[in-house]
A and B are shown apart, each in its own frame.
Chain A
Amino acid sequence: TQLLEQSPQFLSIQEGENLTVYCNSSSVFSSLQWYRQEPGEGPVLLVTVVTGGEVKKLKRLTFQFGDARKDSSLHITAAQPGDTGLYLCAGARGVGGSQGNLIFGKGTKLSVKP
């Protein structure tokens, strides 16, 4: 059962455009993480959001956790070719316990053309 749905699956845009990637679920998560993965490498954490309604900014990237803690979005302003990669969201199913409770979405593959 896929608990985390990411959309769109693929996104190809020109440098300078804005974009939003979505991560949705019918389940409530205690926290949610966003990772970026470049070809041939492992995912790298971008941000963790833990509070409903929370907004975090990382330079041109803005992350939001839904009020009900069932969804999240990643907005990139003025995308650059260096933003190209696979963006993964991962939700934690409980407050306690280990990372064995972490569920990954299937990812959004972003390509930013110069």
Chain B
Amino acid sequence: NAGVTQTPKFQVLKTGQSMTLQCAQDMNHEYMSWYRQDPGMGLRLIHYSVGAGITDQGEVPNGYNVSRSTTEDFPLRLLSAAPSQTSVYFCASSYFQVRSPLHFGNGTRLTVT
């Protein structure tokens, strides 16, 4: 099983550019989420989805959009990149219940200059 697949692994953007980070899972998980990880800040939740067609904001949603048209895919869109969005982004999925383990992708390292 591939698990959670994130692309690209690395990306450099200029301020103001837009891009989409891709995330796909093949475990039929209802729940999918995006986190950003910054030094000294831990993992912070950006957006999450509990099923196709349903999304909600996490702790740090500003500057990011998401959609969930299928169970498998949960792309994260940066509308107008800013240096403050330089970070490592992780996609995660799980079964719905809060005690279910999160399965993480291997991350996308984004640099905004």
Contacts and interface: CB of A to CB of B under 8 A. Distances in A.
Interface of A: 30-31, 33, 35, 40-45, 48, 50, 88, 90, 92, 94-102, 104-107
18 contacts: A31-B98, A40-B106, A40-B107, A41-B106, A43-B90, A43-B104, A50-B99, A88-B42, A92-B99, A98-B50, A99-B48, A99-B102, A100-B45, A100-B56, A104-B42, A104-B44, A105-B42, A106-B40
A100 B99 CA distance: 11
Interface of B: 4, 30-31, 33, 35, 40-45, 48, 50, 56, 58, 90, 92, 94, 96-102, 104-107
A8 to B, nearest CB: 13
A78 to B, nearest CB: 26
Contact of B42 (A42, A99, A101, A106): A106
Contact of B104 (A40, A42, A94): A42
Given A45-B101, A99-B92, A104-B35, 8 more contacts: A42-B4, A43-B90, A97-B98, A98-B97, A102-B98, A105-B42, A106-B42, A107-B42
A74 B44 CA distance: 22
A98 B48 contact: yes
Contacts of B4: 42
A99 B100 contact: yes
A41 B103 CA distance: 11
A104 B41 CA distance: 10
Contacts of B31: 98-100
B53 to A, nearest CB: 15
Nearest to A96: B98
Contacts of A106: 40-42
Nearest to B40: A106
Contact of B105 (A30, A35, A42): A42
Contacts of B98: 30-31, 92, 94-99, 101-102
